[in-house]
Amino acid sequence: MDLGLEENTALVTASSSGLGLASAKALAREGANVVICARSEEGLEEAKAEIEELGGGDVLAVPTDITDPDEIEALIELTVDEFGGLDHLVTSAGGPPSGPFLDITERDWYAAYDLLVMSVVWLTKQAHPYLVDSDAGTVVNITSTSVREAIDGLVLSNAVRRGVIGLMQTQAREFAPDIRVNAVLPGSHETPRIRELVEQSLERGEYDNYEEGLADWADGIPMERVGDPKELGDVVAFLSSDRASFVNGVALPIDGGKLRS
């Protein structure tokens, strides 16, 4: 299916690996110019090379700390200078520290809020004038199924990410009809983070092999497997396209049917 994204420009944050990279690749496969960013240069150039191999549009890699509003402003300006505008914004961020409520410090709470919520506030505010000027302006927020159902040991994600959904639903009404704003709620996908956790479990002797450990992550998923990051990326590209032109203010779970709420 041709999503009509050729020659569009998309900015995807936290995109040197995982679901952010998968989303950038999906947009690039559709012919979009893609801007990727991560906090450090480590892995960013490798991600850029992977996207360029897909043969889509041009790729720009910019080291950026999305908890710093000045760096976000510079990122948006560099994107517009390079490509002449901005059509699609995909917000993604790494996960905050895990742990039970009583182990989380006050500083952890403030840092998680900057990482997960304020980054989206700063990004959408800076991107808004350019998205309005586009004929195809969209925002897709990558969050987590934790905004629907709390996940044990992830109190920061459970509590703070929900603010992104309230923001998304508000912006979807305020920015329409010029800009559509949606969110995706990924469940377990075979990202580098999950691979790392499975490998750690193997080292502790909890599983006999990687496949057994990965299968444990699929427990309770009706599809009987974890997701491939590409599957999430394809949904992000669809939501960014005109094929989803009447989809606005939606929080879409991509979890193989695990959520019951």
Report the CATH architecture of 9-189+227-250: 3-Layer(aba) Sandwich (3.40)
Rounded mean pLDDT of the chain?
95
Task: Report the share of the chain in percent with pLDDT over 70.
Answer: 100
DSSP-based three-state secondary structure for 180: strand
pLDDT for residue 194 is more than 90: no
Amino acid at 166: G
161 and 96 Cβ atoms separated by less than 8 Å: no
DSSP-based three-state secondary structure for 24: helix
Closest CA to 68 of 123, 11, 105, 108: 123
Please enumerate in sequence order all residues whose Cβ is within 8 A of that of 89, keeping only pairs 6 or more positions apart, or say none. Answer: 10, 11, 123, 124, 127, 131, 138, 139, 140
pLDDT for residue 187 is more than 90: yes
User: Rounded to the nearest 10 degrees, what angle do helices 210-217 and 192-203 cross at?
Assistant: 120
As beta bridge partners, residue 186 has 254
What is the C-alpha separation between 130 and 87, in angstroms, rounded? Answer: 7
Give the mean pLDDT of 58-69. Answer: 98
pLDDT digits (tens, 9 = 90+) for 144-185: 999 999 988 899 999 999 999 999 999 999 999 999 999 999
Exposure b/e, 182-220, CB count within 10 A at least 16 = b: bbbbbbbbbbeebeeebeebeeeeebeeeeebbeebbee
| pTM (predicted TM-score) | 0.95
pLDDT for residue 1 is more than 80: no
Hey, where are the domains in the chain? 9-189+227-250, 190-226
DSSP-based three-state secondary structure for 246: coil
pLDDT for residue 55 is more than 90: no
pLDDT digits (tens, 9 = 90+) for 101-132: 999 999 999 999 999 999 999 999 999 999 99
